[in-house]
Amino acid sequence: MDQVPQSSNQSDSNKWLVRILLIIGIGIPVLIELFTFSGLVSSHFFGEAPSATNDRRSETSAKENIPLVKQGDTLFSDTDYPLLVDTLRLEIYPDQWRFIMELKPLWKPNRERSEGVKLTFQNLVTQQQSLEENRVLVWTDNTLDEAEITWILPTGQRPQNAKVTYRSTRQDSLTGTLDIKRHFEFGHVPARYKQ
């Protein structure tokens, strides 16, 4: 086959390309593997000494002390009208996920001092979106009734946090109404499959 004569420039540039490709394409991978192995070895044989590795280890065990809302917690325990999180669960249906929260007053309110409490969930934030739906729970009478809120989430979405306003109205009108705005972070919400 006839060959078109080539200028030396072209084959030079090709040689350079190959050289660069070999250095980047094989050199970097070899370095990565060497770093990995030396990292593994040194963390095992020299990792016990007080070092950065050690600090990291102690900080990353199971999360225990992060104040996340979970089932059994009491919300607004610093007020006259604390609320118990009776249920917190994610129900998984084929076409939607439902986040269900059941709240229950911990004790009967002192009728003389308080007329009741109104809880407004202004929004619920999931990983991908914020559901801007007001959900209101009111306890006015002298009962320990449980109240439930359900959010319908798109499939795959988990609740992350919510903005809540707590308003209790007092009769003695000394303080009038008490407004508290809080931000709840949800930790792990147990999930259940439903059909």
Partner 1 sequence: MTFIDNYPKSAKIAKANFLVAFIALAIGGLFGLIQALHRTGWARNIISSAEYYTMLTGHGVLLALVFTTFFIAGLFVWGVTRSLDREPENMAFSWSWFWIMLIGTLMATVAILGGFVEGSSIRAAVLYTFYPPMQAHPLFYIGAALLIIGSWMAGADWFRSYLAWRKEHPDERIPLQTYMTLFTMLMWYVCTVGVALEVVVLLIPWSLGWVNQIDPLLPRTLFWYFGHAVVYFWLLPAYFVWYSILPKLSGGRLFSDSMARIVFIIFLILSTPVGYHHQYADPGITVGFKFYAMATTLLLLLPSLLTLFTVVASMEHGAKQRGGKGYFAWLGKLPWGEPAFAGCALAGIMFAAGGFSGIINAAMNINILVHNTIWVPGHFHLTVGTAVALTFMAISYWLVPQLTGRKLKNKTLALIQPYLWFLGMTLMSNAMHRGGLAGIPRRTAEPNYSQFDFEAVFGTISEIKWQIAIGGILLTVSLVFFLWVIFNSWFRGERADKPVDDFIPAALSGPEHAPKILDNIKLWVLLAIALVLIAYSVPLAEMVMDGLFSPGAPTIPV
Partner 2 sequence: MDSNDKKAENESNSETSPSDEKIRELSLEEFNPHGTLALTLLYFVLLLVLWFFMYFVEFAGHGPSILS
Partner 3 sequence: MHIHRFERFWIGVSLVAIAIFIATVVIGFSVYDLRVIGAEKTVDPQNLQETKFADPGVRKAEPGSEVDYEVYVMSRQFMFNPGTAEPITVPTDAKIRFHITSPDVLHGFEVVGTNLNTMVIPGQVATFTTRFDTPKTYGLLCNEYCGAAHHVMEGRLKVVSKSQFNEKQLVQ
Binding range to partner 2, per CB under 8 A, among 7-15, 59-67, 91-99, 144-152: 7-15
Instruction: Give the bridge partners for 184, in sequence order.
Output: 162
CA pair distance 106, 101, nearest whole angstrom: 15
Show the site string, 72-111: x = touches partner 3 by CB under 8 A, - = not: ------------------x-x-x--x--------------
Interface residue list for partner 1 (CB under 8 A)? 1, 14-15, 17-18, 21-22, 24-26, 28-29, 32-33, 36, 39-40, 42-44, 47, 53, 56-57, 60-63, 68, 94-95, 97, 127-128, 154-158, 187-188, 193, 195
Closest alpha carbon to 147 in 135, 164, 157: 135
Q: Does 154 bind partner 3 (CB under 8 A)?
A: no
- Residue 113 in tokens: 């001092």
SS3 50: coil
Cβ density class 147-177: b for 16+ within 10 Å, e for less: bebebebeeebebbbbbbebebebeeeeeee
Which residues touch 119 (CB under 8 Å, ≥6 apart)? 83, 103, 136, 137, 138, 164, 165, 166, 167
Binding range to partner 2, per CB under 8 A, among 2-10, 19-27, 151-159, 179-187: 2-10
Q: Does 30 bind partner 2 (CB under 8 A)?
A: no
Q: 35, 37, 46, 93: which one contacts partner 2 (CB under 8 A)?
A: 37
Q: Say if CB 150 and CB 33 are below 8 A apart.
A: no
Q: Does 71 bind partner 3 (CB under 8 A)?
A: yes
- Contacted entry of partner 1, partner 3, partner 2, none for residue 95, CB cut-off 5 to 8 Å set by kind: partner 1
Q: Does 10 bind partner 2 (CB under 8 A)?
A: yes
